[in-house]
């Protein structure tokens, strides 16, 4: 929660004789985050790969070329294989299957190239059919020069002028004039010059025989037979892909695993007879790591915990303590949001839990519609089955929790596909006299949205209509209020982070005044609105104090330059209201357009919904579908991106970016996907 898992710095040292079982055990345990040896100490040298590293990489290259030809991409496993099966089938897979795949793929490529060249020939031949010459008349002359192509203007007279001996054939194709000109070879240069004046562009004539039409027919026939040959080959590839996909991915996994194991010693420090591994392990796992490793090495190895003070020295020298985020499973998807920004440093806070609290509420407040919320939820349920990679699953879970909140807020706002759309019609309205009374006491939160159960909430204002002016004012206040809490939480984390790093001055004179400023700015505003001048004075005094503190802080008077941004930080939270209003507005417009404009108009001015004609209802519903669909798409994107921004820009900057990104805990080992353990 909020803090990464506690890590301990360990050193593993052992005899080189046991390096293989130790690597094997480390890989299996998946506990030790190895710190690569940098080769700086003269008494140690870099380790060398063990075992059959080269063979494994060669096999991997062979396998990957076959997977590429089969167009196999990484995916969620449908089947898993025991290692023994992978091993027994590997030889066949790499050599026989691999060779067959390569041969088939190469044949397909060759056929495709041949088809392409024949298609080009057909393209060149087609215009020639307007000329009365067989194809072998176009080539094979020693003393004649041939020009075949299209010309923009008639060429006969000019060609005859430079070369009295000539033969010219002209034909009109679809949108060009085709000419074939035969002149003595010694006149070729002059004729070519003349032709260029007439916009002549040459066509290359394929060296074929017979007349044009029959040549085209022959080519088309052979294309057809090539296509006929290709279809079963493609099917063969597809069948092979289906048959071997999971096995190939399992083999890939096995080989990658082996390669990683054989190359692991490259990150160790070695002497002639011993090896040393530096690394980090979660503190509560240390004894397990120690016991397992020592029993695997039969006592020829020592695992030692480094004392805190010594470990701090190593960090001081530039070693990064890895961060493993530690959150309850419901909040874990939100680690994606954190990760997208930066991995927190070991001493920093992991904000995922806070994102889990604030993000879905903001999402819900913005979208706030039962109809859209349910639709989002259903769409996500479908997507969740379709996209099964971890990243997608996390993203989908993030939005899913948000969509639940948007249903809750939809009930508060009285919106099902927009206000006044279904809610008011289904639930009925308050009597006119009561509405008048509400207006007079300033508690009018829109009409047509009150349920027959009356209204709920401390002021009796839910469900309310977000487009009513009182509701807008209330939401402005709520948004700023959320902003103050959000920023304050960020500031508190900021203060604690600075204290963790031992920077007291930064904590009390840089982070604290920001929080004071923002909180009391909001209190002063609230006092203005409520007419409580005492709150305004109090707020003003604390704001002045906080500004003085900023000036005393590490940045000095320059710190004042940030003051406007602290105000704009808070105003920025108005987007929670604003984007929501935009989407309500569009939904409202869609409903108005359909129910009060299109349907009455197409029913010949009918006022009552019972009189609407069927075509009018169909058109109206179509308009509703289209506009609501567009609104729905926008309605998922904006409520996602804007709270994200509120977190990254307004909240994270208060405590996060000061010390740069951390290193994620990635223990040596492998999560098996296609391989059975």
The residue ranges that bind another protein (CB under 8 A) are 340, 469, 472-473, 476, 568, 571-572, 574-575, 578, 641-642, 644-645, 648-649
* In the complex, least distance from residue 670 CB atom to another protein, rounded to whole angstroms: 23
Least Å distance between CB 645 and another protein?
5
412 or 648: CB nearest another protein: 648
CB-count burial class (<10 Å; 0-12, 13-18, 19+) for 595: middle
Q: Are strands 33-35 and 7-15 parallel, antiparallel or unpaired?
A: unpaired
| Residue closer to another protein, measured from CB, 118 or 642 | 642
Shortest reach from residue 642's CB to another protein, in Å: 7
Find out whether the peptide bond into 463 is cis, omega within 30 degrees of 0: yes
Query: What minimum distance in Å lies between the beta carbon of 476 and another protein?
Result: 6
Measured CA to CA, the distance from residue 337 to residue 354 in angstroms comes to: 11
Q: Which is nearer to another protein, 157 or 340 (CB)?
A: 340
To the nearest whole angstrom, how small is the minimum distance from the Cβ of residue 461 to another protein?
Answer: 16
Cα separations in angstroms, 136 against 119, 132, 172, 595: 20, 12, 21, 74
In this complex, which beta carbon is closest to another protein, that of residue 86 or of residue 365?
365
Q: How far is the CB of 641 from another protein (least distance, A)?
A: 5
Residue 589 vs 623, nearer CB to another protein: 589
HSE-CB of 296 using CA atoms within 13 angstroms: 22
Q: What is the dihedral of CA 194, 195, 198, 204, to 10 degrees?
A: -170
Beta bridge partners of 276: 13, 269
Nearer to another protein, 441 or 677 (CB): 441
Residue with Cβ nearer another protein (171 or 585): 585
Closest distance to another protein from the beta carbon of 637 (Å): 8
Kind and range of the H or E element at 340?
A: helix 335-341
Cα–Cα nearest to 56, from 249, 257, 265, 245? 257
Residues 568 and 574: their CA atoms lie apart, in Å, by 10
The residues, ordered by sequence, that sit 6+ positions from 677 with a Cβ below 8 Å of its Cβ are: none
Q: Are 443 and 459 in contact (CB under 8 A)?
A: yes
| Closest to another protein by CB, 578 or 658 | 578
Q: 373 phi and psi, to 5 degrees? A: -60, -50
**In the bound complex, what is the minimum distance in angstroms from residue 177's beta carbon to another protein?**
43
At CB < 8 A and 24+ separation, what contacts does 117-126 make?
A: 118/219, 118/222, 118/223, 118/226, 119/223, 121/206, 121/208, 121/219, 122/216, 122/219, 122/220, 122/223, 124/203, 124/204, 124/205, 124/206, 125/205, 125/206, 125/208, 125/212, 125/215, 125/216, 125/219, 126/216
Report, in Å, the least distance between residue 166 CB and another protein: 54
State in angstroms the smallest separation of the CB of 550 from another protein.
22
| Residue-wise DSSP of 602-619 | HTTS--SGGG--HHHHHH
Kindly state the helix (H) or strand (E) to which residue 282 belongs, with its residue range.
Answer: strand 274-282
Closer CB to another protein, 622 or 641, in the complex: 641
Both tokens of 111, joined, read 């056929």
Minimum CB distance to another protein smaller for 92 or for 469? 469
């Amino acid at each position: 929660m909020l803090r990464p898992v506690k890590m301990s710095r360990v050193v593993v040292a052992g005899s080189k004789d046991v390096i293989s079982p130790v690597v094997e055990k480390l890989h299996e345990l998946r506990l030790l985050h190895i710190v690569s040896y940098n080769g700086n100490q003269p008494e140690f040298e870099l380790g060398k790969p063990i075992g059959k590293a080269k063979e494994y990489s060669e096999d991997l290259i062979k396998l990957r070329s076959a997977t590429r030809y089969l167009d196999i991409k990484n995916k969620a496993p449908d089947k898993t294989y025991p290692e023994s099966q992978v091993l027994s089938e590997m030889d066949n897979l790499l050599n026989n299957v691999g060779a067959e795949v390569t041969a088939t793929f190469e044949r397909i490529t060759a056929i495709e190239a041949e088809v392409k060249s024949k298609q080009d020939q057909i393209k060149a031949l087609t215009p020639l059919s307007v000329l009365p010459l067989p194809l072998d008349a176009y080539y094979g002359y020693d003393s004649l020069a041939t020009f075949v192509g299209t010309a923009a203007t008639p060429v006969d007279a000019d060609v005859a002028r430079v070369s009295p001996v000539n033969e010219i054939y002209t034909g009109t194709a679809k949108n060009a004039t085709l000419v074939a000109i035969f002149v003595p070879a010694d006149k070729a240069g002059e004729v070519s010059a003349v032709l260029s004046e007439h916009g002549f562009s040459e066509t290359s004539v394929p060296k074929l025989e017979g007349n044009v039409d029959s040549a085209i027919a022959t080519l088309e026939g052979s294309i057809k037979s090539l296509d006929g040959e290709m279809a079963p080959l493609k099917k063969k590839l597809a069948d092979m892909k289906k048959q071997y996909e999971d096995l190939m991915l399992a083999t890939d996994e096995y080989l990658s695993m082996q390669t990683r194991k054989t190359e692991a010693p490259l990150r160790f420090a070695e002497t002639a007879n011993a090896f040393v591994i530096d690394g980090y392990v979660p503190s509560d796992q240390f004894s397990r790591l120690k016991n397992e490793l020592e029993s695997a090495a039969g006592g020829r190895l020592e695992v030692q915990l480094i004392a805190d003070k010594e470990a701090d020295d190593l960090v001081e020298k530039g070693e990064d303590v890895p961060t493993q985020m530690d959150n309850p499973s419901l909040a874990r998807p939100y680690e994606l949001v954190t990760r997208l920004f930066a991995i927190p440093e070991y001493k920093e806070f992991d904000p995922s839990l806070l994102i889990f609290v604030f993000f879905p509420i903001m999402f819900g407040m913005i979208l706030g519609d039962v109809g859209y919320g349910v639709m989002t939820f259903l769409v996500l349920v479908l997507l969740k089955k379709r996209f099964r990679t971890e990243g997608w699953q996390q993203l989908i879970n993030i939005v899913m929790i948000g969509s639940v909140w948007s249903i809750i807020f939809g009930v508060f706002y009285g919106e099902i596909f927009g206000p006044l759309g279904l809610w008011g019609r289904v639930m009925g309205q308050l009597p006119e006299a009561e509405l008048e009374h509400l207006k007079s006491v300033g508690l009018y939160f829109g009409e047509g949205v009150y349920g027959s159960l009356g209204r709920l909430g401390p002021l009796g204002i839910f469900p309310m209509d977000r487009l009513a002016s009182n509701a807008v004012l209330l939401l402005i206040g709520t948004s700023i209020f959320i902003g103050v809490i959000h920023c304050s939480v960020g500031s508190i984390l900021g203060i604690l982070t600075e204290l963790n790093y031992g920077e007291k001055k930064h904590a009390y004179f840089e982070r604290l005044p920001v929080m004071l400023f923002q909180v009391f700015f909001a209190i002063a505003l609230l006092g203005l609105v409520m007419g409580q001048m005492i709150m305004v004075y109090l707020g003003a005094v604390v704001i002045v104090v906080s500004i003085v503190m900023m000036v005393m802080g590490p940045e000095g008077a320059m710190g004042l330059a940030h003051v406007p941004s602290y105000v704009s930080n808070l105003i920025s939270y108005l987007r929670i209201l604003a984007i929501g209003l935009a989407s309500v507005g569009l939904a409202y417009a869609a409903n108005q357009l359909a129910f009060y404009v299109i349907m009455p108009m197409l029913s010949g001015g009918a006022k009552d919904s019972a009189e609407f004609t069927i075509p009018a209802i169909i058109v109206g519903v179509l308009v509703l579908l289209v506009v609501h669909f567009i609104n729905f798409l926008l309605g998922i994107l904006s409520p996602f991106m804007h709270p994200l921004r509120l977190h990254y820009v307004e909240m994270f900057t208060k405590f996060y970016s000061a010390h740069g990104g951390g290193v994620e805990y990635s223990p040596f080992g492998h999560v098996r996907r296609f391989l059975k353990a």
